Structure 1
Amino acid sequence: MMELLNYENLRLIWWLFIGVLLIGFAVMDGFDLGVAAMLPFVARTDNERRVAINSIGPTWEGNQVWFILGGGAVFAAFPLLYATAFSGFYFAMFLVLVALIVRPVGFDFRHKIDDSRWRAAWDTCLFIGGVVPAVVFGVAIGNLFLGVPFTFDEDMRLFYTGGFWALLNPFALLVGVVSLSMLVMQGATFLSLKTEGDVARRAGQVMTIACAVFVVTFIIAGIWVSYGMDGYVITSEVNPLAPSNPLAKTVSTESGAWLANYTANPLLFVFPVIALAGALGARVLVKAQAHVLAFISSSLTVAGTIATAGASLFPFFMPSSQNLDASLTLWDASSSHTTLMIMFFATLIFLPLIIIYTSWIYRVMRGKVTEDYVKSNSGSLY
């Protein structure tokens, strides 16, 4: 077994682990963000807003574990990626953190004072806390395809020359819309599952719009990536067993290079197909009142979308537009073999425990949240 866990395979395994954790975060915390983002549109009275909020109230904190796990895994397994991403996307990440801080404050404070203006203010904070991370995460992914302006000197010191506003380019904003519509769709299917009456009906209407926006923008983004921009290609020999050194390779850009992995392995086209089919299937299933299947279908859309981006970028993590050779890949941005090995066995122990515990929590919290339930438990709910 130890031969199978050589440096090359461990790097591949941790690339897959990062993808799984991103999907876990987008699926689980994604519907929290989606519900918050559509709160003003699905809930018009205070009781309706409390129904929507309490549909995610018992589980949102646990869902953020996936975000913490993902950040921790990147920090430990790919420290160069972590350092470069948080340097290059510093203000963007700061906005995300502020939004993620505002959200729990909104949950806990909105019901402290029985005043419509007080609650409306915190409802606005919840809305912002849902929209901002969803858009910023998409903008960040979009900029990876375009390349990020950073480089390293001979002592491996990082230099980032871009600015926050440069991140808000047309393609990145388009991917931000893809991300927002995808997570709103995820939130709408969850809200349809957990509520009834007007809230569930409006969630279904939002789902229809979000599905249409996602399908259109996802297809446009795919065409743009395939034919409207140059992709990155490693042009030198890569030793997957060598110590990490981003400057030890040469990289060039070529038209249509982001399609190279799909051309080499056509089975990868299953990922964008799953993304589109999942979105359309979720819409049909919501309309048919098959809410559990609709949520599963929407979750497949999330997984397919992230897998599509990962398969396109592989083996790149963060291409550099300033110095092509400094682009970060899974072969030259990872921790040592020993570190990846220790983390691998720790993950085998703790990740199943997290999945089991999360599954148990959702089983305990199953069932619908209704206005009558919220009114009769006003003292113990948000």
Structure 2
Amino acid sequence: MTSIPLDYETLRMVWWLLLGVLLIGFAIMDGFDLGVATLLPAVARTDAERRLVLNVIGPVWEGNQVWLILGGGAIFAAFPPLYAVSFSGFYLAMFLILIALILRPVGFKFRSKIQHPTWRASWDWALFVGGAVPALVFGVAMGNVLVGAPFHFDDSLRPIYTGNLLQLLMPFPVLCGLVSVAMLAMHGAGMLAMKVDGPVAARARRYGAIAAIATAVLFALAGIWLAKGVLGFAVHGGLDPNGPSNPLIKSVQQGAGLWLANYSLRPWTWLFPLLGIAGALASAAAFKAGRAGMAFLASSAAVAGIILTEGFAVFPFLLPSSTQPGASLTAFDASSSQLTLFIMLLATALFLPIVLAYTAWVYRVLRGKVGDGDVGQNPNAY
């Protein structure tokens, strides 16, 4: 282990940051797909308009979903206890997301196979569910990170989850879910406004502005609620950043306002919630001014700011335990071995630039607007 050039604490910090990068990448790249699908019933009134909307995201959604796979893979390899608790404890929620996400490829492939209005309308609603439900559940999951999940470990360090699906739907996590839906609807509207013209673009700008304002308001309300009405967590002692991965050797205290402690210790982190609110308001202003590109960039900044706000608020926690706070998982006691983290870091340094380069090339090839002629004349159009 002495031959590894990075110490254990540094590797854990790097992988905590990489996990955040992957979550932001997923929210920005696949987030606009979910947002476009969520807006489908509102922005498209005719079959031709709906096909136009679907062909904005149809060629790219599969590639964008790679960010979700990368995020899940990073959790599995870098933080196995987090994977074990979240993917088993939140199994029903994950299954709900999986069903909704399965509707997306099926809807794209089967919608235009039959021209009957009822057939196509049914798949349009399936695509809406495939966008709105994951957006909501992902936000609810992030809210449950803040309130803590009901789990503990036995003497063999096996995680035991004691909650159920209904317990995930507490008021504060549901508010976080609404923040997520509004945020991704704003983001999807920005992509739509950039890629199409005519009535669909006009509606996308209108609904995008509404979603952007809703994002700023709901995010601010969630922040106030978090400061005043949600019990936070703080490590009281026993956590060794270079120590073994054993979540039971530390002590954790729980109390009101503790999630804001990191912002007091590191005042520069206030830039992230400000970025979330300012980005959403700037996106609304850009929608009103008809500047779709600026609206999309501003919404991307808002997405990054909102995710970073939660990440730095809960650091070093990954998933607190509401029933046994001392069993909470942190970046420093729920990671893989030092050697595993180092080897994975080398693989990431090799393959992540390839993913980024390929993504950039794809979007360069697919640059420009999608028009009625493209949909009607292209036999591969959805």
TM-score band (shorter)? Answer: over 0.9
Tell me the CA shift for residue 371 of structure 1.
1.8
Alignment TM-score, normalising by the size of structure 2:
0.98
Matched, 1:33 2:43: no
The answer as to whether partners of 2:238 and 2:249 remain within 8 angstroms in 1 is: no
Structure 1 equivalent of residue 325 of structure 2 = 324
Tell me the CA shift for residue 289 of structure 1.
2.7
The answer as to whether partners of 2:209 and 2:287 remain within 8 angstroms in 1 is: no
Q: Secondary structure at the match of 1:246?
A: coil
Structure 1 equivalent of residue 76 of structure 2 = 75
Structure 2 equivalent of residue 44 of structure 1 = 45
Structure 2 equivalent of residue 130 of structure 1 = 131
Structure 1 equivalent of residue 275 of structure 2 = 274
Tell me the CA shift for residue 290 of structure 1.
2.3
Amino acid at match of 1:93: M
Q: Secondary structure at the match of 2:112?
A: coil
Tell me the CA shift for residue 4 of structure 1.
5.6
Structure 1 equivalent of residue 87 of structure 2 = 86
Q: Percent identity?
A: 55
Distance 2:141 2:49 in 1: 34
Distance 1:84 1:205 in 2: 41
Distance 1:85 1:337 in 2: 22
Structure 1 equivalent of residue 353 of structure 2 = 352
Structure 2 equivalent of residue 381 of structure 1 = 381
Amino acid at match of 1:195: V
Tell me the CA shift for residue 255 of structure 1.
1.8
Tell me the CA shift for residue 314 of structure 1.
0.4
* Runs of 4+, deviation exceeding 6 Å: none
Structure 2 equivalent of residue 244 of structure 1 = 245
Distance 1:245 1:91 in 2: 27
Aligned pair in 2 of structure 1 residues 2, 352: CA closer, same or farther (>3 Å)?
farther
Amino acid at match of 1:351: L
Deviations 1:13-57 (A, max 9, x none): 000000000000000000000000010000000000000000011
Distance 1:197 1:70 in 2: 37
The answer as to whether partners of 2:209 and 2:288 remain within 8 angstroms in 1 is: no
Tell me the CA shift for residue 293 of structure 1.
2.0
Alignment of 1:157-236 (within 5 A): 157-236=158-237
Alignment of 1:243-322 (within 5 A): 243-322=244-323
Gaps of 5+ in 1: none
Q: Secondary structure at the match of 2:113?
A: coil
Alignment TM-score, normalising by the size of structure 1:
0.98
Q: Secondary structure at the match of 1:134?
A: helix
Q: Secondary structure at the match of 1:247?
A: coil
Matched, 1:144 2:145: yes
Deviations 1:300-343 (A, max 9, x none): 00000000000111000100011111000001110000000000
The answer as to whether partners of 2:246 and 2:333 remain within 8 angstroms in 1 is: yes
Distance 1:203 1:294 in 2: 11
Deviations 1:267-286 (A, max 9, x none): 00000111111111112222
Q: Secondary structure at the match of 1:38?
A: helix
Q: Secondary structure at the match of 2:248?
A: helix
Tell me the CA shift for residue 212 of structure 1.
1.8
The answer as to whether partners of 2:4 and 2:342 remain within 8 angstroms in 1 is: no
Distance 1:267 1:306 in 2: 16
Deviations 1:140-185 (A, max 9, x none): 1111111110000111111111110011111010000000000000
Q: How many residues align?
A: 381
Gaps of 5+ in 2: none
Distance 1:4 1:18 in 2: 21
Matched, 1:12 2:13: yes
Q: Secondary structure at the match of 2:232?
A: strand
Alignment of 1:110-121 (within 5 A): 110-121=111-122
Distance 1:2 1:174 in 2: 48
Q: Secondary structure at the match of 1:242?
A: coil
